[in-house]
Amino acid sequence: MNAPAPSRPVGLLAELTHRCPLGCPYCSNPLDLDARETELPTATWQRVFSEAAGIGILQLHLSGGEPASRRDLAELVAHAAKLGLYTNLITSGVGLNRAAVTKLAEAGLDHVQLSIQDSQPQSADHIAGYKGAFARKVEVASLVTETGLPLTVNAVIHRANVRRAGAMVELAVRLGARRVEIAHTQYYGWGARNRGLLMPSREEAEAAIEEVERLKTTLAGTIVIDHVAPDYHARYPKPCMSGWARRTLNVTPAGKVLPCHAAELIPGLEFWNVTQHSLEEIWNNSPAFNAFRGDEWMREPCRSCARKSVDFGGCRCQAFMLTGEAREADPVCHLSPHHRIVEEILAEARGEAAEPGAYAYRRMRPLPRSRGERLQGEDLDISAE
């Protein structure tokens, strides 16, 4: 099968590290997290950013884990800014302080995207698996806005906070955000592992969707609301990644280049590493990138479906996770012969929040204490004290 000629990429997600002080049970990072010793050094990241600019990439998303766990974060931002890349820091906020935020702004950072876990402090800390996280985030939001950096607040919706979707939008307004992203949980990585505890009931999800859509009207002019509806409850799947290997690349902390954050779960794909290939070679020729380009790989009903150029058959990773075959239509689609799998999952969803300690918290290694409990400051290695 010949893959069609690649389009031009516009965005690079750089997962600078998998280290993170929080333990959110919906995290889309893989269960097998990259250890600190395997992380790319500063000079390699800088070379990757230069190659990204060279192939026309415009937006650089600095993510993780917690990107502020890298001591060289400001140095990396400065290099990207010099190249003219638009730099977006995706952060938990925990570990950033006034000096760090100022340093990042001076380095040329363009935008901060700050996650919140809930509008209620106690629940937010429980979901994050980190005591005091909520208070730290409120403080960091104010440091970001004082510095003059544009702030977006991100909230992931699931069973424990679904009734407060609107309250989280209102919190984002109070925090001074210009934009808020309300995204229902996508079930990859740790999110897939905790799916049974995270999935809200259909009624709860629908009430949250309605509330956020209503706020889009009432808060127009105050804050921009990006709403990512829960795909398990939709008739058609999301156009995941705007189509496989069409717009973006993900680079893991150890330098593996993926077409999407979850691609490693699909068996048999060959990923190339930035330590052995240039970004341009990877984009054009990596077997993993060419695996699902175009529509030659599609099975029915996608192959002859009018929507295949709209949603690209949905998500390859979700198709694999739910059916065992990545070339199938995403079973979220009501036309998929496997759609009953999604209906069965939804039928099992109950409207009860997880008990403290019930989540499998995202973590690098087992902790020698009771489940779910984390100490403040653990795993933290912040750049600019």
301, 327, 353, 381: which one contacts ligand SF4 (CB under 6 A)? Answer: 301
Separation between Cα atoms, residue 357 and residue 355, nearest integer Å: 6
User: Site mask, ligand SF4, residues 261-290, x = CB under 6 A?
Assistant: ------------------------------
Residue 180 interacts, among ligand FES, ligand SF4, none and using kind-specific CB cut-offs from 5 to 8 Å, with none
Least spacing, CB of residue 351 vs ligand FES, in Å:
27
The dihedral of CA 8, 230, 211, 235: what is its sign?
positive
The dihedral of CA 11, 17, 20, 24: what is its sign?
positive
By CB under 6 A, tell whether 329 contacts ligand SF4: yes
Provide φ and ψ at 239, rounded to 5°: -80, 75
Contact (Cβ atoms closer than 8 angstroms) between residue 285 and residue 3:
no
Return residues touching ligand FES (CB under 6 A): 188, 240-241, 244, 260, 262-263, 315-317
Size of the site for ligand SF4 (CB under 6 A): 14
Q: Which residues pair with 114 in a beta bridge?
A: 91, 153
Least spacing, CB of residue 87 vs ligand FES, in Å:
23
Helices marked H in the chain: 42-54, 73-82, 98-107, 121-128, 133-147, 165-174, 189-193, 195-198, 202-218, 279-285, 287-290, 308-311, 316-323, 339-348
Least spacing, CB of residue 1 vs ligand SF4, in Å:
18
By CB under 6 A, tell whether 315 contacts ligand SF4: no
Least spacing, CB of residue 346 vs ligand SF4, in Å:
17
Separation between Cα atoms, residue 72 and residue 40, nearest integer Å: 11
By CB under 6 A, tell whether 331 contacts ligand SF4: no
> Which C-beta is closer to ligand SF4: that of 105 or that of 302?
302
Least spacing, CB of residue 373 vs ligand FES, in Å:
31
| Omega cis (within 30) before 65 | yes
Separation between Cα atoms, residue 146 and residue 290, nearest integer Å: 45
Contacts with ligand SF4 by CB under 6 A lie at 236-237, 301-302, 305, 307-308, 311, 313-314, 329-330, 333, 335
